[in-house]
């Protein structure tokens, strides 16, 4: 495999190399680098600066072109890697690069491996790694022969990258010194060189030479540490690398890389094919990249090449983890990144090919390190190259080793520093790449096709499968068997948002009326008519796509078939041609066989002392007056048929009779909270239009009536009971809006006590804090669901209110919880009102039942979200709004066939806001595969993370958070290890290879692990955690994505209509002289650097001085300048995008509030012990290696 | 010496007392032989326009267990300024304020004509009267409208400073807050849940447990601001309440086909009682329940809401087939006792065509002195005028109602008190004058009479305790003193003291005297009360047998047939209603109830009372029958034909017109004063309503014994009941046989 890869690599590189023309490196590596660089550059824009850049540029271009292709491949499916037939080779590089880098980084530590893997993994990353590896390979070659040697040599190299790398890393690291392990590094450096020298003497020289230069560069590049790597790779980088003396060493390997050139040739041959994708590496197999991969097997997966470990075997020894750490620690943070980079670099480095890389290097990271770049490219390409080099030496088998070799070198450099953050997979890059790539509308007709990322704008054309706006899957190519699924550990799940709002340019699902008989369904499994039903016998019968049962077509539905066996009216009927549509349900689908009444909204307002004092009561009452004109309706021309009712409460409940015929509203006080009932029927739920006068009068009087209240105690359970009873009495479904302030301590059912106990955090008993305090609410929730009573809870707490318990009902009824801690009328009014407005107005269904049917072979086994289940199949939702999602996990209960794929149909029976009973059906078909590689090519990381986080957040109810965190890490490690083992081309064990489509898995996973729920900071209250926990359960993929990995936009330049390119969530990405906007879906921060330019401040705040900025601003001043205008537009656009209004918080650098802000810089280490991205990647790598060994 | 007749009349006029015997046999044995016990009908607040209350407090005997009030029977030593209690013989000094007392300067209470005297107590807080309306909203719109109007009208009749409150109920119970402006506010209680008084007060926000505890005051529920929310002075909330009543909706909960509306009478009453209990204990208050049907849910439920299950009848009760009877009776009984303890009373105005559960609820009024009024609809003059009459005033412009009374009986040593029958509850005051032998509500010498009016009359039973061998000295007198404390409608507290004495007589030597001192009417009514009292607690036939054994005279025949003892043809509610009134009305009214009056109008002369006999029903007569509950004008066959022919319109038959008018005028007179308003029936021979008359008259001619050819005048009655003649024959036979 390796060989193949390498070869391919070579070829690809070869090509590129040519382009690069550079020295030895140039040839083979360049190409790869270039691509990498590109990506890299993208990622590490900053880095590029280096001289090497130039080189890169050149390379860049190449890559670019390549990139696109690559993307095409990759972009589409991760598949690309594999698939992308040769031609794309270049592109891949690009792609791969990014990945690789990421991968590399990982590999960094493990460098060697990664690289190697990289290589194998047709995946770029892999390749990168590989490259890195290769570099090491160079040495490895030596090693190859006898690992031992390589080891030694590699180690060094690897050291550079990773632990094993120690040596290698160490080398780099030594400086880094970071990790203890590193210490050894120093040696590494030496060794590496030697190694390198040894093996690739020639290179060495070169490298060394380069190295020499490198040192200097480092200074410049420092930040780029990554570059340093490159340094190694490309002499150019050397400059930058300077810091990375080791780098140089590494480089040497790269230098070797150069030799690779020689190898290149080898590669070249292969590459040609491989080109396209890393596979290119496998190029040989190139023909069908997959093919090549196949060898790699997983190769495609390899893409995932997250494998950083170029290091390979050597590393293992080293104990990569250490390396990683070491890597990172050393130089500045960046350095660490560099280490990461190293991984990447390594490859590059090794790649010497760096030459080419060099250029790229510049582009990307520390381009400075051209060398680095070289390194990178090497990794990717280079790696291969190197590998090849080595390969040559080594027969195919060890290619990996080779990788190591190369890596080693790079690693060496890295080792000194930490992984280069710029070298590890960058979410921003991935997002950006996908965004750029997504230009065509996404058509859903093709089975198993992964949709664009949630962060990209795209148009969807429904051609038979549900739009990704409705359904997203973790995998679009499901394993055929349970064994495969178990082996891969990849969760098979779908995130379904049944009532999602579509953009205006997409048609909402059509409403189909099949008449009195109701929707046509399969006789056996009851699946609804859909495009997967096969009409046979001239159209008289149809065969169910799910269970294969043959049913008769009712006469009124009969239609002739055309010559292809399709019904003639196929395209006239939404249910035969579309993925999503609605049926009009008949009375058989209604509760008690009675057509439903229009739903009702009941507003229940806390009027205790706190509520009045905070201004909440006043605001709610004022707002309701206008809000009532915006109740949901299906026909905008008509008045809403939703009826409304009002209740206020403290220790007792006050119902209001607002019958139209009354001159004044009447208040009915119910003090019997122990046994709640509704005191009136007629006059409680009214039509807004008819009772307008009375309602207005009531809303005017409520604040007055309770203005002087001194009642501080509240009840809660009876409040919901009251709403429920009212709906029961009116015999309709509906929604309760509860505005509540405090822990319900008054004597009543559902009374709670304060149980917040910080001492329990981190203990085995912590889970109890997430569980409801009393069983009362669970029972109540059940009753609510039975009646179709959805509860939305707006909390305004000043202290602990036990969200874990209060939230039980909302969460079980499809409702939402909103929390406005320390609510102040002035500052929080806007947020609250916007949330309320949106909540009231949003389209929703009531009394819903959701059922997921699947084709034989898989089964929906687990569900996550805000709902209630009384059996194992029916998801009952008292309310289902357009923002709520249900995540469904599937498990095999039989085999799936590749031919038919796997089908799923999600049917939601609900009552619309006009009281119509409907069925919404979403159909989804995905492919099935018997090769793991195919699985890994078609996964969607964002969705996986969505699933994992929901799973984990639910698990905290039953397990200690520590166990949950470990479980997550283990599963991810298993996924990646499986890929590495089965899909990535063989490479050094020290190399971290990530599948292309999962290369962000570690970074996102880290974000999940660091979330307040799983790893709370000291200042995070139990309520906050419970709140977030519940909140997440209903999030869709785009929300969970930004929630875990916030969007951070630099605001220095706002031009045109496009948004500035986001930067990664790390403090080091922030410039003191700038301002940034950070969005999490819940929070919106405007961070202002202490040295922000006057002009910027003037534009934003209208004040020239940093000191004059009011940190309490909640909205941006309206200034008449294009910048301000655009910024406000952006803020508005962000808000419009999210289901909850984000209050703007201005954070001044060095201000207290910055602590909160920093919490969202998720790539950094956080105060509560959350690992930095780099560290975590290393950790992950270690886990994977353990699994592999 | 006047005749006994006059003596009796005189005593009644002065003291409101009528004894069965006006000479008392001097020993227990002889008294027992008299069959009719020594007993009396006592009207505590008998109207005495000529008796101005004195503005000072009574002087009481100093002996702790006596406390009798100074009265004309006491021996007074004007020199020593000492008086001797005629009950315990304790010698008491006069208080300082009596320093000027002398032979010629005697306080009123010592004058013989002031054997009944009323004192005004100046001490203590003045508590306003309280009227709490408890209104059923499960009514037909027409009924509800009539009720609304009556209630609104009543506001103008209330004393301006009286507190008024409103509770409405249907499926839920709403306590309306009257003080708030703008939004009408009410507290709602679920109609199915029994709540303790404490819970009710908490839910109404009347208790501030924590606060009062801190202040060290025992739970002081008298938080004026809190109670004011529900009970406000009429003058202040007049408008508000009028509007509130005007907006009173029918119970908004849908009533499915085949169901009765859900009516939470039990909870509504318990909330009313709880509210008053917490806010105004021991203050005169009147809970006025207006209901249009039986309680159908919750505690006190009388019948389920399924229409197919009819409300219990006597038949069901006898078959022990009345599911809710015991439980709900017990519920209301408990409630009534609570109410009585606090000195509040409950009126029931039940207007419905079917029964409303009076049988179960009767104790509410019976024990608290409240009224029960039964009618067919709120939209009838019967209800409207009766309700209006509740607020009638006396000659001096005072309401004819008094509250929170306690009546104490003191007896001289030879007598003990056995009990009382009337709208009262025992206060459980043991003492030397309490007999172990209970008749009626006994075992005490004090009773609570929560609501009184000038006609409220109790039957008191006594026992002679002197031994046979220790006859009372000749000329000795036995004395009884009634001390009634009550809250006058002017909110004053008053004490009325009535002291009476009767001579002892040796039954052996003076049997004739004793015989002649017998008060036939009083005895009849007293025995009837005893019968009714027993009928309430025992099986009907047993009571009749008991009564039969007790001998008696003529009108016991009618009593036997009266609805007080006979339940045939009466619903349980009606029986309860009739009995309720029988045990509280004064003697005259009671007599009418037992033996209805029948007047005959004809061209032959002025109206004359005629026998209540079927033979009195003649074609050329107009009959006016007053049974207390009904007022029936019956036109004989011929008269009816004439009237139909319109003779009365012709000038030449002016006399006929006058004849027709005469009974109407008389009836009107009765209607003016009677409370409750009787059912007024104007009917004629063959009219369906003639049944009211036919069922009352003595069936001397029935379809059994009247032969077609007999020329006897009168109308045959279709009944199997025995006629008076037969009854008498049997009675005679029995009397003889039993005496042997």
pLDDT tens-digit readout, B121-175: 887 777 788 999 999 999 999 999 999 999 999 998 888 888 999 999 999 899 9
- pLDDT level of residue B604 (50, 70, 90 thresholds): confident
Asked whether the predicted pLDDT for residue A281 surpasses 80, the reply is: no
Neighbours of B668 (CB within 10 A): 11
Cα torsion B389, B394, B395, B397: sign: negative
Nearest chain A residue to B182 by CA: give it: A664
Q: What local confidence, expressed as pLDDT, does residue B518 receive?
A: 86
Token look-up 């079927």 returns B614
Cβ of A682 and B249 within 8 Å?
A: yes
State the pLDDT at residue A630.
Answer: 87
Give which of A100, A98, A92, A93 is closest to A42, Cα–Cα.
A98
Q: How many residue pairs bridge chain A and chain B with CB atoms within 8 Å of each other?
A: 70
* For residue A305, pLDDT beyond 50: no
Task: Give me the pLDDT at residue A1104, please.
Answer: 85
Q: Tell me, what's the pLDDT at A108?
A: 38
Nearest to A668 among B186, B247, B254 (CB): B186
Q: Is B385 helix (H, G, I), strand (E, B) or coil?
A: helix
> How confident is residue A855, by pLDDT bands cut at 50, 70 and 90?
very high
Q: Please say if the pLDDT value at position A202 is more than 70.
A: no
**In the prediction, which pLDDT does B560 show?**
77
Q: Which pLDDT score, from 0 to 100, does residue A421 have?
A: 74
Enumerate the residues of chain A whose CB falls inside 8 A of the CB of residue B189.
670-672
Q: What is the predicted pLDDT for the residue at B281? A: 83
The nearest alpha carbon in chain A to B244 belongs to A666
Interface test with A, best of B173, B186, B199, B255 (most A CBs within 10 A): B186
Q: Do the strands A917-929 and A477-479 form a parallel or antiparallel pair, or are they unpaired?
A: parallel
Rounded Cα–Cα distance for residues A486 and A493 (Å): 14
Torsion (CA) A688, A691, A695, A698 in degrees, nearest 10: -160
Is B96 at the interface with chain A, CB within 8 A?
A: no
Contact B182/A671, CB-based, under 8 Å? Answer: no
Smallest CA–CA separation between B552 and chain A, in Å? 57
Smallest CA-to-CA distance from A309 within A113, A99, A105 is with: A113
CA A720 to chain B, closest CA, distance in angstroms equals 17
Residue that wins the pLDDT comparison between B209 and A380: B209
Q: Which residue of B has its CA nearest to A729?
A: B253
Q: Token digits for A65?
A: 């072109």
* C-beta atoms of B186 and A652 within 8 A: no
Mean pLDDT along residues A822-829:
89
Long-range CB pairs of A747-750, under 8 A, 24+ apart, other chains included: A747/A673, A747/A674, A748/A651, A748/A673, A748/A674, A748/A715, A748/A716, A748/A717, A748/A718, A749/A673, A749/A674, A749/A676, A749/A717, A749/A718, A749/A721, A749/A776, A750/A715, A750/A716, A750/A717, A750/A718, A750/A774, A750/A776, A750/A777, A750/A780
Q: Which residues pair with B419 in a beta bridge?
A: B461
pLDDT score of A1159? 87
**Mean pLDDT of the region A820-848:** 91
Answer whether residue A77 shows pLDDT above 60. Answer: no
In this model, does residue A254 exceed pLDDT 70? no
Q: Which residues of B touch A658 (CB under 8 A)?
A: none
Least confident of A114-128, A455-469, A679-693, A1027-1041: A114-128
**B631 pLDDT band (50/70/90 cuts)?**
very high
pLDDT confidence bin for B521, thresholds 50/70/90 = confident
Is A1141's pLDDT higher than 60? yes
Residue B92 burial (10 A CB sphere; 0-12, 13-18, 19+): buried
Strands A817-819 and A844-854: unpaired
What's the rounded Cα separation, in Å, for the pair A921 and A471? Answer: 11
B188/A652 touch (CB, cutoff 8 Å), yes or no: no
pLDDT classification of B474: cutoffs 50, 70, 90: low
Q: Picking from A255-269, A966-980, B295-309, which range would have the lowest pLDDT averaged per residue?
A: A255-269
User: Complex ipTM above 0.90?
Assistant: no
E-strand stretches of B584-720: 597-602, 605-609, 622-626, 630-635, 679-684
Q: How far is the C-alpha of A1171 from the C-alpha of A1178, rounded, in Å?
A: 10
Chain center to CA of A167: 34
- Chain B nearest-CA distance from A656, in A, is 9
Q: Cα separation of B328 and B322, whole Å?
A: 11
pLDDT at residue A355, as a whole number: 35
CB contacts, 8 Å: B172 with chain A? 677, 679-680
Backbone dihedral region for residue A847 (phi beyond 0: left; psi -120 to 50: alpha; all else: beta): left
Instruction: Tell me if chain A has a CB within 8 Å of the CB of B247.
Output: yes
For chain A, the average pLDDT equals: 71
Pairwise CA distance, residues A478 & A1024, whole Å: 37
Least confident of A849-853, B405-409, B520-524: B520-524
- pLDDT number for residue A681: 82
Q: Does residue A299 surpass a pLDDT of 50? A: no
- Across the interface, which of B199, B202, B253 has its CB nearest the CB of A681? B253
In angstroms, the separation between the Cα of residue A619 and the nearest Cα of chain B is 20
Reported as a pLDDT band with limits 50, 70 and 90, residue A781 is very high
């Amino acid at each position: 495999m390796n060989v193949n890869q390498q070869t391919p690599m070579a070829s690809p590189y070869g090509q590129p190399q040519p382009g690069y023309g550079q020295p030895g490196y140039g040839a083979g590596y360049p190409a790869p680098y270039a691509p990498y660089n590109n990506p890299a550059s993208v990622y590490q824009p900053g880095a590029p600066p280096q001289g090497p850049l130039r080189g890169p540029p050149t390379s860049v271009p190449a890559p670019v072109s390549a990139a696109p292709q690559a993307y095409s491949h990759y972009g589409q499916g991760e598949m690309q890697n594999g698939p992308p037939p040769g031609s794309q080779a270049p592109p891949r590089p690009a792609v791969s690069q990014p990945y690789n880098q990421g991968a590399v980084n990982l590999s960094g530590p493990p460098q060697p491996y990664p690289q190697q893997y990289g290589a194998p993994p047709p995946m770029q990353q892999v390749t990168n790694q590989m490259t890195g590896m290769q570099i090491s390979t160079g040495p490895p070659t030596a090693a190859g022969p006898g690992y031992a040697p390589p080891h030694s040599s590699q180690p060094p190299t690897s050291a550079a990258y990773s632990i094993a790398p120690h040596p290698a890393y160490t080398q780099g690291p030594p400086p880094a010194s970071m990790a203890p392990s590193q210490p050894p590094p120093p040696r590494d450096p030496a060794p590496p060189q030697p190694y390198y020298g040894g093996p690739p003497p020639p290179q060495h020289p070169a490298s060394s030479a380069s190295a020499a230069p490198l040192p200097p560069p480092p200074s410049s590049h420092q930040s780029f540490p990554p570059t340093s790597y490159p340094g190694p790779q490309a002499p150019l980088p050397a400059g930058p690398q300077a810091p990375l003396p080791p780098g140089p060493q590494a480089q040497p390997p790269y230098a070797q890389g150069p030799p690779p050139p020689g190898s290149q040739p080898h590669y070249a041959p292969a590459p040609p094919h491989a080109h396209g994708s890393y596979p290119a590496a496998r190029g040989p197999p190139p023909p069908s990249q997959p093919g090549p991969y196949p060898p790699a097997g997983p190769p495609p997966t390899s893409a995932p090449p997250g494998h950083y470990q170029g290091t390979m075997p050597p590393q293992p020894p080293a104990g990569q983890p250490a390396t990683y750490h070491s890597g990172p620690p050393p130089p500045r943070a960046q350095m660490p990144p560099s280490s990461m980079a190293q991984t990447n670099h390594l490859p590059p480095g090794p790649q010497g090919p760096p030459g080419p890389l060099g250029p790229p290097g510049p582009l990307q990271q520390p381009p400075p390190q051209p060398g680095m770049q070289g390194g990178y490219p090497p990794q990717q390409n280079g790696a291969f190259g190197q590998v090849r080099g080595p390969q040559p030496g080594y027969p195919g088998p060890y290619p990996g080793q080779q990788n190591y070799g190369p890596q080693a070198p790079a690693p060496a450099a890295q080792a000194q520093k930490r992984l280069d953050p710029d070298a590890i997979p960058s979410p921003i890059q991935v997002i950006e790449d996908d965004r750029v790539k997504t230009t065509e509308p996404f058509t859903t007709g093709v089975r198993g096709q992964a949709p664009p990322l949630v962060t990209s704008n795209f148009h969807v054309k429904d051609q038979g499968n549900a739009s990704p706006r409705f359904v997203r899957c973790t995998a679009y190519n499901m394993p055929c068997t349970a064994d495969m699924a178990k082996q891969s550990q990849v969760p098979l799940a779908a995130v379904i948002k049944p009532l999602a709002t579509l953009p205006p340019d997409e048609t909402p699902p059509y409403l189909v009326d099949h008449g009195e008989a109701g929707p046509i369904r399969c006789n056996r499994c009851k699946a609804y008519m859909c495009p997967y039903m096969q009409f046979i016998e001239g159209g008289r019968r149809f065969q169910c796509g799910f269970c294969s049962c043959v049913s008769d077509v009712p006469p009124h539905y009969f239609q002739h078939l055309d010559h292809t066996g399709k019904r003639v009216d196929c395209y006239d009927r939404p249910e035969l041609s579309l993925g999503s549509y609605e049926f009009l349900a008949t009375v058989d689908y209604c509760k008690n066989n009675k057509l439903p009444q229009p739903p009702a909204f009941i507003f229940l307002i806390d009027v205790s002392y706190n509520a009045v004092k905070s201004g909440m009561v006043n605001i709610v009452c004022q707002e309701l007056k206008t809000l009532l004109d915006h109740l949901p309706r299906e026909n905008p021309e008509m008045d809403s048929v939703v009826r409304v009712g009002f209740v206020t409460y403290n220790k007792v409940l006050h119902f209001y009779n607002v019958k139209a015929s009354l001159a004044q509203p009447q208040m009915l006080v119910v003090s019997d909270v122990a046994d709640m009932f509704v005191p009136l029927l007629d006059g409680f739920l009214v039509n807004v239009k008819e009772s307008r006068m009375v309602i207005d009068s009531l809303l005017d009087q409520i604040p007055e009536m309770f203005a002087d209240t001194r009642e501080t105690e509240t009840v809660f359970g009876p409040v919901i009971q009251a709403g429920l009873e009212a709906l029961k009495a009116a015999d309709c479904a509906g929604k309760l809006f509860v505005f509540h302030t405090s822990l319900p301590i008054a004597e009543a059912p559902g009374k709670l006590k304060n149980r917040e106990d910080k001492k329990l955090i981190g203990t085995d008993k912590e889970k109890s804090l997430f569980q409801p305090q009393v069983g009362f609410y669970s029972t109540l929730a059940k009753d609510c669901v039975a009646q179709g009573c959805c509860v939305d809870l707006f909390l305004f707490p000043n202290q602990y209110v036990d969200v874990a318990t209060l939230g039980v009902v909302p969460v079980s009824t499809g409702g939402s919880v909103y929390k406005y801690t320390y609510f102040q009328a002035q500052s929080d009014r806007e947020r609250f009102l916007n949330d309320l407005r949106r909540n009231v107005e949003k389209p929703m269904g009531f009394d819903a039942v959701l059922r997921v049917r699947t084709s034989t072979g898989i089964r929906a086994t687990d569900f996550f979200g805000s709902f209630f289940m009384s059996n194992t199949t029916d998801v009952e939702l008292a309310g289902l709004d357009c923002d709520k999602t249900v995540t469904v996990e599937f498990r095999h209960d039989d085999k799936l066939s590749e031919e038919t794929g796997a089908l799923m149909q999600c049917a939601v029976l609900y009552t619309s806001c006009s009281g119509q009973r409907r069925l919404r059906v979403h159909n989804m078909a995905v492919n099935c595969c018997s090769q793991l590689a195919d699985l890994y090519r078609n996964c969607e990381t964002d969705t996986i993370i969505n699933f994992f986080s929901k799973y984990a957040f639910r698990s905290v109810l039953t397990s200690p958070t520590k166990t949950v965190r470990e479980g997550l890490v283990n599963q991810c490690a298993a996924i990646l290890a499986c890929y590495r083992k089965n899909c990535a081309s063989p490479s050094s064990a020290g190399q971290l290879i990530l599948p292309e489509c999962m290369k962000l898995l570690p970074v996102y996973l880290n974000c999940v692990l660091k979330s307040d729920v799983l790893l709370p900071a000291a200042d995070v209250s139990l309520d906050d955690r419970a709140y977030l926990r519940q909140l997440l359960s209903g999030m869709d993929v785009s929300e969970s994505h930004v929630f875990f990995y916030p969007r951070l936009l630099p605001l220095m330049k706002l031009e045109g209509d496009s948004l500035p390119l986001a930067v990664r969530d790390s403090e080091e990405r922030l410039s003191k002289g700038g301002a940034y906007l950070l969005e999490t879906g819940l929070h919106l921060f405007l961070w202002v650097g202490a040295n922000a330019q006057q002009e910027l401040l003037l534009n934003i705040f209208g004040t020239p001085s940093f000191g004059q900025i009011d940190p309490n601003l909640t909205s941006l001043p309206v200034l008449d300048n294009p910048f301000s205008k655009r910024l406000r537009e952006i803020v508005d656009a962000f808000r419009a995008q999210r289901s909850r209004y984000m209050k703007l918080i201005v954070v001044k650098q060095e201000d207290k509030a910055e602590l909160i802000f920093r919490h969202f810089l998720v790539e950094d280490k956080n105060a509560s012990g959350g690992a930095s991205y780099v560290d975590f990647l290393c950790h992950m790598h270690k886990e994977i290696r353990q699994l592999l060994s | 010496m006047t005749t006994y007749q006059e003596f009796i009349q005189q005593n009644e006029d002065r003291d409101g007392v009528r004894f069965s015997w006006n000479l008392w046999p001097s020993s227990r044995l002889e008294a027992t032989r008299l069959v009719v016990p020594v007993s009396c009908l006592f009207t505590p607040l008998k109207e005495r326009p000529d008796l101005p209350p004195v503005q000072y407090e009574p002087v009481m005997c100093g002996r702790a267990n006596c406390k009798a009030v100074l009265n004309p029977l006491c021996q007074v030593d004007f020199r020593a300024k000492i008086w001797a209690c005629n009950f315990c013989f304790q010698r008491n000094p006069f208080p300082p304020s009596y320093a000027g007392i002398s032979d010629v300067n005697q306080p009123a209470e010592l004058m013989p004509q002031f054997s009944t005297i009323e004192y005004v107590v100046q001490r203590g807080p003045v508590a306003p009267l309280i009227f709490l309306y408890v209104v059923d909203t499960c009514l037909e719109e027409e009924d509800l409208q009539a009720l609304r109007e009556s209630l609104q009208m009543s506001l103008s009749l209330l004393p301006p400073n009286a507190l008024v409150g409103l509770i409405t109920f249907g499926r839920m119970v709403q306590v309306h807050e009257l003080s708030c402006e703008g939004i009408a506010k009410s507290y709602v209680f679920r109609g199915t849940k029994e709540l303790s008084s404490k819970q009710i007060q908490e839910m109404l926000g009347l208790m501030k447990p924590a606060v009062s505890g801190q202040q060290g005051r025992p739970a002081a529920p008298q938080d004026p601001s809190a109670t004011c929310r529900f009970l406000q002075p009429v003058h202040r909330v007049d408008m508000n309440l009028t509007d509130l009543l005007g907006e009173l909706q029918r119970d908004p909960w849908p009533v499915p086909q085949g169901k009765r509306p859900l009516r939470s009478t039990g909870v509504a009453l318990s909330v009313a009682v709880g509210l008053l209990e917490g806010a105004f204990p021991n203050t005169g208050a009147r809970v006025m329940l207006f209901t249009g049907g039986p309680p159908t849910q919750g505690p006190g439920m009388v019948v389920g809401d399924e229409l197919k299950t009819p409300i219990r009848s006597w038949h069901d009760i006898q078959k022990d087939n009345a599911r809710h009877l015991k439980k709900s009776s017990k519920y209301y009984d408990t409630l009534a006792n609570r109410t009585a303890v606090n000195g509040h009373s409950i009126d029931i105005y039940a207007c419905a065509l079917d029964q409303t559960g009076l049988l179960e609820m009767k104790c509410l009024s019976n024990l608290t002195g409240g009224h029960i009024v039964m009618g067919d609809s709120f939209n009838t003059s019967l209800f409207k005028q009766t309700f209006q009459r509740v607020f009638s005033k006396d000659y001096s412009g005072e309401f004819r109602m008094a509250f929170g009374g306690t009546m104490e009986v003191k007896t001289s040593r030879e007598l003990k008190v056995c009990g009382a029958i009337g709208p009262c509850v025992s206060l459980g005051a043991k003492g030397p004058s309490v007999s172990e032998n209970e008749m009626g509500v006994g075992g005490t010498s004090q009773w609570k009479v929560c609501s009184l009016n000038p006609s409220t009359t109790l039957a008191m039973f006594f026992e002679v305790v002197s031994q046979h061998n220790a006859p009372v000295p000749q000329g000795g007198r036995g004395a009884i003193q009634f001390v009634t404390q009550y809250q006058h409608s002017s909110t004053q507290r008053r004490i009325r003291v009535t002291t009476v004495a009767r001579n002892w007589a040796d039954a052996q030597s003076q049997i004739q005297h004793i015989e002649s001192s017998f008060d036939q009417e009083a005895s009849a009514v007293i025995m009837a009360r005893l019968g009714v009292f027993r009928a309430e607690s025992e099986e009907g036939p047993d009571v009749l047998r008991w009564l039969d054994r007790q001998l008696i005279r003529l009108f016991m025949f009618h009593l036997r047939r009266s609805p007080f003892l006979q339940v045939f043809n009466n619903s349980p509610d009606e029986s309860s209603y009739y009995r309720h009134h029988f045990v509280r009305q004064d003697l005259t009214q009671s007599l009418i109830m037992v033996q209805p009056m029948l007047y005959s109008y004809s061209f032959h002369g002025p109206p004359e009372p005629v026998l209540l006999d079927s033979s009195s029903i003649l074609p050329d007569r107009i009959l006016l029958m007053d049974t207390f509950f009904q007022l029936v004008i019956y036109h004989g066959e011929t008269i009816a034909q004439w009237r139909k022919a319109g003779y009365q319109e012709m000038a030449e038959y002016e006399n006929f017109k006058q004849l027709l008018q005469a009974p109407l005028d008389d009836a009107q007179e009765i209607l003016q004063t009677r409370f409750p308003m009787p059912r007024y029936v104007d009917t004629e021979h063959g009219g369906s309503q003639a049944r009211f008359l036919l069922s009352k008259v003595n069936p001397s001619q029935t379809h059994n014994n009247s032969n077609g050819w007999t020329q006897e005048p009168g109308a045959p009655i279709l009944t199997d009941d025995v006629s008076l003649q037969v009854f008498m024959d049997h009675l005679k036979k029995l009397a003889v046989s039993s005496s042997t």
